[in-house]
């Protein structure tokens, strides 16, 4: 990771002669104050609390020069958590140099990439590691060292990725929520790759929009971002050991816009040392625009996720369907609300969530998030969250 940081800096320094007169600099960012209230004390040791507070800061520094053909972005992140030392952590979300040309783009350093079109699960999103201590949703990612060369052609956009260095998934500590009875012990981590976390992964993607369709096809070969967890004994205590497989994956994401309808799908085939399998996430969304002649839009969606491995899958949507509704007021406060329910057809368990946000003035945003887990079947992986029902309030102050 350090090598990629240095490479980004060196790249920027090499461009200094071109920056002499037209350099532009901007500093911005946000401070997030978070309060979480749990409906119950946790079901595991050291979870005997029902409130938690934390503070996060995420500044962003941006330079561009050479007529905006070159830019450097630095976005560090730090969180201080009241209860969980493992959630008190720092990361570099972005630190990269970007060079733009007429029909290609080169990105070097630490960055974040998102692939996917569906709402409840993104099977094709394989580049960045999840920052799991930040929450259960898919938005929080650790910065990934990379060299990304992108070609823009009439027949589509081709991205090639070289990903040196692997980052372990973050996990809750002994005082944290959203974990199993045993915690993940980083010292017990194992890898399929002989050079462990120093393995260089490769990826490529072609994306194109035509008629009513948006399509992406990807290939990935490297270390799996999702670990296999096994209970082991360390110093007389039971802990979880994370094992990261070497995988090869191909995938397709497709979205069609037909009037008020959105038809979405993600499909992957993965090969790993244990087995080969297919997985899919399919869904549709219908939007009612301008409810009662207002600016408000209401979207109603349905998705189904299927993993060929069934209940052996280390995924939460192995045979699940989800329904949801998205409300956008399209007002000056950018008020929005999303509510969804996921039902597991194998374990017959349910989880429900709601998330909303609204701007407060020009430089603040208030967000609310809540989730309830009705997982009485102990065989369901989600049963570990049975007493983690919560409501969370976050105030973002931008500068």
What strand order describes the sheet that includes 237-244?
Answer: 190-191, 237-244, 228-234
3-state secondary structure of 280: strand
Q: What would the pLDDT profile of 84-115 be if each residue is shown by its tens digit?
A: 999 999 999 999 999 999 999 999 999 999 99
Average pLDDT estimate for 272-277: 95
Q: What would the pLDDT profile of 62-84 be if each residue is shown by its tens digit?
A: 999 999 999 999 999 999 999 99
Q: What is the DSSP string of 75-131?
A: EEEEEEESS-TTTSEEEEEEEEEEEE-SSEEEEEEEE-------SS--TT--SSPB-
Average pLDDT estimate for 331-356: 96
- Give the residue from 136, 124, 159, 155 showing the smallest Cα distance to 252: 124
pTM value is 0.91
Residue 10 has pLDDT above 60, yes or no: no
- Report how many domains make up the chain: 1
Domain assignment of residue 85, given as a range: 2-398
H/E stretch holding 10 reads helix 2-14
- Residue 307: which CATH number? 2.40.160.10
Phi and psi, residue 286, nearest 5°: -120, 130
Q: What is the DSSP string of 13-51?
A: HHTGGGGTTT-EEEEEEEEEEEEEEESS--SSTT---SE
Q: Which two structure tokens, joined as six digits, stand for 50?
A: 């029902």
Beta bridge partners of 178: none
Q: What would the pLDDT profile of 168-217 be if each residue is shown by its tens digit?
A: 999 999 999 999 999 999 999 999 999 999 999 999 999 999 999 999 99
Contact (CB, 8 A) for 357 and 377: no
């Amino acid at each position: 990771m350090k090598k990629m940081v240095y490479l980004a800096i060196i790249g920027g320094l090499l461009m200094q002669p071109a920056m002499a007169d037209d350099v532009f600099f901007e500093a911005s960012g946000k401070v997030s104050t978070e309060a979480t209230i749990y409906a119950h004390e946790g079901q595991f040791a050291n979870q005997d609390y029902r409130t938690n507070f934390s503070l996060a800061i995420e500044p962003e520094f941006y330079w561009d020069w050479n007529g905006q053909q070159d830019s450097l972005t630095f976005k560090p992140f730090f969180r201080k958590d009241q209860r969980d030392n493992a959630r008190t952590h720092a990361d570099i979300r972005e630190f990269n140099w970007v060079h733009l040309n007429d029909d290609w783009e080169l990105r070097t350093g630490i960055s974040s990439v998102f692939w996917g079109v569906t709402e409840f699960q993104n099977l094709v999103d394989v580049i960045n590691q999840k920052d799991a201590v930040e929450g259960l949703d898919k938005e929080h990612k650790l910065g990934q060292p990379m060299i990304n060369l992108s070609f823009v052609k009439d027949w589509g956009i081709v991205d090639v990725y070289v990903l040196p260095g692997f980052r372990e998934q973050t996990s809750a500590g002994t005082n944290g929520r959203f974990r199993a009875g045993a915690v993940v012990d980083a010292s017990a981590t194992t890898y399929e790759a002989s050079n462990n976390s120093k393995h260089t992964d490769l990826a490529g993607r072609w994306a194109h929009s035509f008629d009513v369709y948006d399509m992406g096809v990807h290939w990935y070969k490297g270390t799996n971002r999702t670990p296999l967890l096994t209970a082991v004994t360390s110093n007389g205590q039971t802990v979880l050991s994370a094992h990261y497989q070497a995988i090869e994956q191909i995938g397709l994401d497709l979205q069609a816009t037909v009037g008020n309808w959105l038809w979405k799908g993600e499909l992957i085939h993965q090969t790993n040392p244990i087995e080969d399998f297919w997985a899919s996430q399919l869904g549709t969304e219908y939007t009612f625009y301008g409810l009662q002649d207002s600016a408000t839009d209401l979207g109603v969606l349905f998705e189904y996720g299927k993993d060929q491995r069934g209940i052996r899958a280390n995924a939460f949507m192995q045979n699940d369907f989800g329904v949801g509704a998205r409300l956008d007021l399209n007002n000056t406060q950018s008020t929005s609300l999303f509510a969804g329910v996921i039902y597991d057809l194998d374990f017959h368990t349910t989880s429900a969530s709601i998330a909303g946000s609204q701007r407060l003035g020009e430089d603040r945003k208030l967000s609310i998030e809540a989730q309830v887990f009705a997982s009485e079947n102990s065989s369901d992986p989600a049963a570990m969250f049975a007493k983690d029902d919560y409501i969370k309030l976050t105030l973002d102050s931008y500068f």
